[in-house]
């Protein structure tokens, strides 16, 4: 038997399932008996988890289909220690039905009642909105309820209403803290240990307290939420309303976000500043003391396949993402404050199927992030509550999204991934208040449009050119710079003759309207998958004797470019790798001087750089004190082949392929480039397998931090390249480092494998 209070709330959800036709009354009893006898010992008689098995009532259990449950029963889950069960068809059907009814999200249950009346009660007489937030409206001292109908079963919601003392949610325990200085704080404890306490007061402010600051902590034994003594009609109406809370769509908020003044030492955008230069003025960690640098905390991201994120730090809080997940951490010690999560999307192809995400953008009290299925989300950065959710593109058309958005004034700007699967690229801007789309700039034309003349052939139907990496912003000239990806098919240009605009380009856009100011194409008619989605860096510097407004990039095609960012004129273009065989240089007209024999062939042609590029999306940096540009460069060639393979739904549209050259392994180098001449001033070879994808960071302490190809996190002298410090993580780098200041102390942080590691003196 299912005992105690939990049984009281299990029966209503099963009765609701029976009433909706999902189960018959007799099957409920039969399935319950099967569950108790065969599953209860591990999963608990109520499905809430036991010593040997996980809870079936949490998120993973609620997403299980009937077929998945049936397969688990028949085949077991050997790696998890679950045996297979061989049941009669009748018993199996009853058990599957019971488990599905037990775990069905409330949003999928038929709940009688007037949801509109429940809505009115929630915001009115019930005063629920004083603590709970729904789609950005309400209080923050209680859990966000925007997706409650997806996150909880009907029985769990009813239990929380009638017996809140049985529901203890982490991060919402009422406390009063007596401080050593005589002051008092009260609110909810987001996290507590023997060493520290995170307290969020009623206004939403976070207080990070060390035990030495605390005289006494008083825990209120009463639950944060009082029990509701409702009539049957009120209870039914409130349940109907709460069960229908299945996420946010476009927002209706009148919120007008304002960028908070960036405090010294904060890392408030993907690159630390909107201009794309990973240079920090922090100088506590220097060439003289970096040898004393050590790991100060580690935060493992559960379930992450690999991290490519650059954390942000604002107001002492670090924000970290992986695909469809965001965490807020205490930047002092890595302790979690809140966690937002939604399921990964099934059936994706391309980069987004790899479950990666590179970070968030911040504006006021909101965070913005993309999802694997090309949605853009706004979260409340105080509690992780979902405010709005808009679809940028239909993932069924092979779109995804992987990179951090960029905030410019009151707009959130993003592109999408899918650039090898035939998705038509674009950059789009959305209102930060509501998610309403303001403009959309297509990075390649449709048939019949003016630019279609640069796409001669049928490839224009699936030409790619997606704008998947975070762009940069020029405050002085109010210009948005966005890099674009390669054309498709990647290696065969027979059906896309012409320059294939705007692939492999930088777009200079008016941020308010998306109007094109100018463009420059780095690799016209690209045949080597050398998309130009490398960081575009805004720099003001004296250049060749004259103060100039510059835009710099180390391009995947092997050339280092310095452009006049007011008009796109090429000021300098020099190779930054020695193995470059496809072009002899960049001509006075800004076009590459392509060498014969560099096109892919059916038999295969050796071309340098390799398909990974001389560099790629990993971050670069510029130090104004040294005048040097830092980049991780790859010296490698490939054999490029082409084929007649054509676009098919759900497959990559390559039109050929690449392979490594035997006995010619690649080699990574950290290189410092003189921006005046393009000459390499110093370099650090990276012995290893040339598989790492880590970026760089430069600081006023005279250092360059980088991920060594061996798996070490390291620092070198920014002037000379002299190696000064390393720390072995034994991870393959897929992210770029950042630095921040909190409580007067400088830290350097980086994603290594599936963990965030923060270093300090």
478 domain-assigned: yes
Q: What is the model's pLDDT at position 21?
A: 47
Q: What is the model's pLDDT at position 11?
A: 46
Q: What is the model's pLDDT at position 563?
A: 98
Say whether pLDDT at 378 is over 90. Answer: yes
Domain boundary among 193, 224, 243: 243
| DSSP letters spanning 293-341 | -EEEEEEE-TT-S------EEETTEEEEEETTEEEEEETTT--EEEEEE
Range of the domain at 421: 279-760
Q: What is the model's pLDDT at position 61?
A: 55
Alpha-carbon gap, residue 237 to 259, rounded angstroms: 40
Number of domains in the chain: 3
Return the SS3 of 135: coil
Q: Are residues 670 and 561 in the same domain?
A: yes
pLDDT tens digit string along 519-574?
999 999 999 999 999 999 999 999 999 999 999 999 999 999 999 999 999 999 99
Strand partners of residue 573: 561
Alpha-carbon gap, residue 247 to 221, rounded angstroms: 31
255 domain-assigned: no
Say whether pLDDT at 60 is over 70. Answer: no
Q: Are residues 524 and 659 in the same domain?
A: yes
| Helix or strand holding residue 748 (H, E) | strand 745-752
Alpha-carbon gap, residue 400 to 497, rounded angstroms: 27
Half-sphere CA count of 410, side-chain side, radius 13 A: 11
Alpha-carbon gap, residue 219 to 178, rounded angstroms: 11
Q: Are residues 157 and 287 in the same domain?
A: no
| Mean pLDDT computed over every residue of the chain | 90
Instruction: Name residues whose C-beta falls within 8 Å of residue 274's C-beta, 6 or more positions apart in sequence.
Output: 406, 408, 472, 473, 475, 538
Domain boundary among 61, 82, 104: 104
pLDDT tens digit string along 494-512?
999 999 999 999 999 999 9
Q: What is the model's pLDDT at position 13?
A: 47
pLDDT tens digit string along 328-337?
999 999 999 9
CATH of the domain at 622: 2.140.10.10
Q: Are residues 233 and 304 in the same domain?
A: no
Averaged over 609-619, what is the pLDDT? Answer: 97
Domain boundary among 49, 74, 104: 104
Alpha-carbon gap, residue 635 to 108, rounded angstroms: 55
158 domain-assigned: yes
Beta-strand pair 173-179/184-192: antiparallel
Instruction: Name residues whose C-beta falls within 8 Å of residue 571's C-beta, 6 or more positions apart in sequence.
Output: 543, 544, 548, 550, 562, 563, 564
Q: 497: which DSSP letter?
A: B
CATH of the domain at 48: 1.10.760.10
273 domain-assigned: no
Averaged over 402-429, what is the pLDDT? Answer: 95
Q: 15: which DSSP letter?
A: H
Largest Cα span, the chain = 88
Q: From the candidates 119, 474, 499, 529, which is the catalytic residue?
A: 529
Q: Are residues 93 and 128 in the same domain?
A: no
| DSSP letters spanning 670-683 | EEEEETTT--EEEE
Instruction: Name residues whose C-beta falls within 8 Å of residue 666's C-beta, 6 or more positions apart in sequence.
Output: 610, 612, 634, 635, 636, 690
What are the structure tokens assigned to 341, written together? Answer: 């999560």
Q: What is the model's pLDDT at position 159?
A: 78
Q: Are residues 552 and 533 in the same domain?
A: yes
pLDDT tens digit string along 437-494?
999 999 999 999 999 999 999 999 999 999 999 999 999 999 999 999 999 999 999 9
Q: Are residues 91 and 154 in the same domain?
A: no
Q: Are residues 67 and 172 in the same domain?
A: no
Token pair 């991201």 in the structure block, residue: 301
The answer to whether residue 119 is catalytic is: no
Q: Are residues 62 and 119 in the same domain?
A: no
230 domain-assigned: yes
């Amino acid at each position: 038997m299912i005992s105690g209070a939990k049984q009281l709330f299990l029966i209503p959800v099963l009765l609701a399932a029976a009433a909706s036709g999902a189960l018959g009354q007799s099957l409920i009893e039969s399935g319950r008996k099967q569950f108790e006898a065969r599953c209860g010992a591990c999963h608990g008689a109520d499905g809430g988890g036991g010593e040997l098995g996980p809870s079936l009532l949490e998120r993973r259990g609620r997403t299980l289909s009937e077929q998945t449950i049936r397969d688990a029963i028949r085949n077991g889950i050997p790696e998890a220690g679950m045996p297979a069960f061989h049941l009669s068809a009748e018993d199996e059907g009853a058990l599957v039905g019971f488990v599905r009814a037990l775990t069905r999200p409330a949003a999928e249950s038929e709940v009688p009642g007037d949801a509109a009346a429940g809505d009115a009660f929630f915001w009115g007489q019930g005063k629920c909105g004083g603590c709970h937030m729904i789609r950005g409206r309400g209080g923050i001292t209680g859990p966000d309820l925007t997706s409650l109908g997806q996150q909880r079963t009907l029985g769990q919601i009813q239990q929380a209403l009638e017996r809140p003392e049985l529901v203890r949610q982490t991060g919402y325990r009422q406390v009063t803290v007596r401080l050593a200085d005589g002051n008092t704080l009260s609110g909810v404890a987001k996290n507590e240990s023997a060493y520290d306490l995170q307290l969020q007061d009623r206004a939403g402010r976070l207080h990070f307290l060390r035990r030495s600051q605390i005289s006494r902590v008083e825990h209120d034994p009463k639950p944060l939420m009082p029990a509701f003594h409702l009539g049957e009609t009120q209870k039914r109406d409130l349940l109907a309303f709460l069960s229908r809370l299945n996420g946010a769509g476009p927002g209706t908020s009148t919120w007008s976000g304002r960028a908070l003044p960036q405090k010294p030492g904060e890392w408030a955008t993907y690159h630390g500043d909107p201009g794309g230069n990973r240079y920090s003025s922090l100088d506590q960690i220097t060439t003289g003391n970096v040898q004393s640098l050590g790991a100060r905390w580690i935060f493992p991201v559960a379930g992450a396949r690999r991290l490519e994120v650059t954390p942000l730090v604002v107001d002492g809080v670090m924000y970290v993402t992986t695909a469809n997940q965001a965490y807020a951490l205490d930047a002092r010690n890595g302790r979690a404050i809140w966690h937002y999560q939604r399921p990964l999307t099934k059936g994706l192809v391309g980069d987004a199927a790899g479950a990666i995400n590179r970070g968030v953008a911040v504006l006021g009290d909101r965070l913005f992030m993309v999802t694997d299925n090309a949605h853009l989300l706004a979260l409340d950065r105080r509690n992780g509550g979902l405010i709005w959710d808009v679809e940028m593109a239909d993932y069924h058309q092979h779109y995804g999204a992987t990179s951090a958005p960029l905030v410019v004034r009151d707009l959130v700007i993003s592109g999408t991934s899918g650039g090898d699967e035939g998705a038509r690229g674009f950059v789009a801007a959305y209102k930060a208040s509501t998610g309403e789309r303001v403009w959309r700039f297509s990075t390649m034309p449709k048939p019949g449009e003016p630019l279609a003349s640069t796409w001669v052939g049928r490839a224009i139907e699936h030409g790619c050119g997606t704008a998947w990496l975070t762009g940069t912003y020029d405050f002085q000239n109010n210009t948005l710079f966005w890099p674009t990806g390669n054309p498709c098919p990647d290696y065969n240009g027979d059906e896309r003759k012409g320059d294939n605009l705007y692939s492999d380009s930088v777009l200079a856009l008016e941020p308010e309207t998306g109007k094109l100011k100018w463009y420059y194409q780095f690799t016209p008619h690209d045949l080597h998958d050398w998309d130009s989605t490398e960081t575009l860096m805004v720099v003001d510097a004296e250049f060749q004797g004259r103060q100039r407004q510059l835009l710099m990039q180390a391009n995947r095609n092997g050339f280092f470019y310095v452009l006049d960012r007011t008009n796109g004129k090429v000021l300098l273009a020099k190779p930054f790798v020695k193995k470059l065989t496809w072009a002899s240089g960049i001509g006075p007209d800004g076009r590459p001087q392509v060498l014969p024999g560099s096109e892919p062939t059916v038999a295969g042609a050796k071309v340098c750089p390799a398909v990974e590029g001389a560099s790629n999306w990993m971050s670069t940096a510029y130090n104004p004190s040294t005048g040097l540009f830092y980049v991780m460069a790859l010296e490698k060639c490939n054999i490029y082949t082409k084929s007649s393979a054509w676009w098919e739904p759900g497959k990559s549209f390559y039109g050929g392929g690449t392979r490594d050259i035997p006995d010619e392994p690649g080699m990574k180098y950290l290189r410092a480039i003189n921006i005046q001449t393009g000459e390499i001033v110093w370099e650090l070879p990276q012995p290893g397998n040339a598989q790492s994808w880590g970026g760089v960071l430069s600081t006023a302490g005279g250092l360059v931090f980088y991920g060594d190809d061996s798996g070490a996190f390291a620092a070198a002298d920014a002037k000379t390249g002299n190696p000064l410090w390393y720390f072995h993580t034994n991870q393959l780098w897929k992210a770029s480092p950042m630095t921040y200041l909190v409580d007067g102390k400088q830290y350097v942080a980086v994603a290594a494998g599936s963990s965030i590691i923060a270093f300090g003196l």
